[in-house]
Amino acid sequence: MRPGRSGNSTTAFVLLAVLMAGVVGLVDIRRTEAASEQPGSFRAACVKVDITPDTPQWLQGYGPRQSTGVHDPIYHRIAVLDDAATTLCLVSTDICTISPSFYQDFCKKLERETSIRSENFWWSTTHTHSAPHVGPQDLAKLFSGTLGDRFSIKHDTAYWASVADKLIAGIKEAQSRLEPARLGIAAGTAAANVNRRQRRADGRTVLGVNPEGPVDRQLGVFRIERPDGTLIGLIANYAVHGTSLGGKNQLISGDVPGYAAHYVERSTGVPMLFINGAEGNAAPLHSVGANIEDPRLKDYDGLLGERILAANAAIENTTADVTLRVGKTVVETPRKAGLGWPDTLADYSSISADGTPQVRVPVCSLVINGDTVIWAAPLELFSEVPLSVRETSPFARTFYFGLTNGSLLYLPTKAAFAEGGYEPNVSPFTDRAEADFTAAVTQYLQQLKKK
């Protein structure tokens, strides 16, 4: 319980919050006993660093278009967690994607300057399509036949360097600000997304709206607070493409993830990291094209921002007794036939015993106090995979962090490969990937639980 509240009043408050939020299973009151009033060994810090460009930038995710101004600023949001044995640095950045090679190079610099190793550093992007991509387009260039003239642009490598330098500075600041902390976790739902693989009357699958299609609507919220209950920061995990603004918008914006973060931060006064989930086939509920003044964009205040605040308010059991256990596995699955591979991504490629080229997908994991697991991958993953993994997970709470530590593009389902459409056409994988990836991650989580 948070300091200063009795058990009976706490229980009543949690039940009321759950009913008001309309979320079944938002908080499991039984899962945590009252924590000690004294600070434990757990420490944390959260910082926010402005990375809004002051020069025009090529915006990623649609055809070539250069920014003409700024609608809302974009940021690095950084959380450093330390249990006295393990330090984990989590970053959420308001850009579309980062290339795996850029992430690898950054990790070398980070370790030199902060001693944080790559396995203890998770860099996620929010996937707003109204911000730049950072790093060379190593893998995406293999799909230039599908993606058209997206690679005719000349990227601003000085901006890339600025993004990296500001991240190093922000991480150092967070390390210097570590303080005794407590952690609480909630899993709820939000209806801010919709399946985007629309089936047309002529049988073609296009990017649109498919209300009957599967989509992951789990909302995860992590509350980081001081021993006196005041907030240090929040982490929110939800699956949604950053595409409420369309390909004609030319204003820098954090899109839906940025709107949610700004809304929550105005209410709480602390940084909120938005970590995207399995957004591969998840569109925002409302898409408004280039009309950035469309009133429907305000709906995300309630659809997502208020849901995050409700989940945070309902977390009554926080603890200073936090253990963090990081891990990693690699999933190998066949590469699309005839697809080349860039030398810069050699670590993400292998050859099977029968001579089949394969993609090597790194999967990171974080186990918190033995009952919560987060797994992360550099993918635009379809929702069906984490839904299946969560259904059989041996952990009480299971969360997926997508587009983490780079991007290996889309990993669609077998059914999506058969249907066709945009995502399978720009995927380096085959229709075996869903089964291979689901089985491997499921087995990995089982092994983690036994440790």
pLDDT confidence of residue 39: 53
Q: Which amino acid is at 127?
A: H
Which residues does the chain have with pLDDT short of 70? 1-40
CA–CA distances in Å: residue 156 to residues 159, 229, 252, 301 = 5, 43, 15, 33
pLDDT confidence of residue 451: 87
pLDDT confidence of residue 31: 29
How many angstroms separate the CA atoms of 177 and 247, rounded?
Answer: 40
How many angstroms separate the CA atoms of 148 and 146, rounded?
Answer: 6
pLDDT confidence of residue 22: 39
How many angstroms separate the CA atoms of 392 and 450, rounded?
Answer: 15
pLDDT confidence of residue 205: 96
Q: Between vectors from CA 370 to CA 381 and to CA 312, what angle results, nearest 5°?
A: 70
How many angstroms separate the CA atoms of 157 and 102, rounded?
Answer: 11
Buried/exposed code over 83-107 (b: 16+ C-beta within 10 A; e: otherwise):
beeebbbbbbbbbbbbbbbbbbebb
pLDDT confidence of residue 144: 80
How many angstroms separate the CA atoms of 192 and 209, rounded?
Answer: 13
pLDDT confidence of residue 277: 98
pLDDT confidence of residue 153: 80
pLDDT confidence of residue 40: 66
pLDDT confidence of residue 150: 75
CA–CA distances in Å: residue 336 to residues 333, 340, 370, 384 = 10, 9, 37, 20
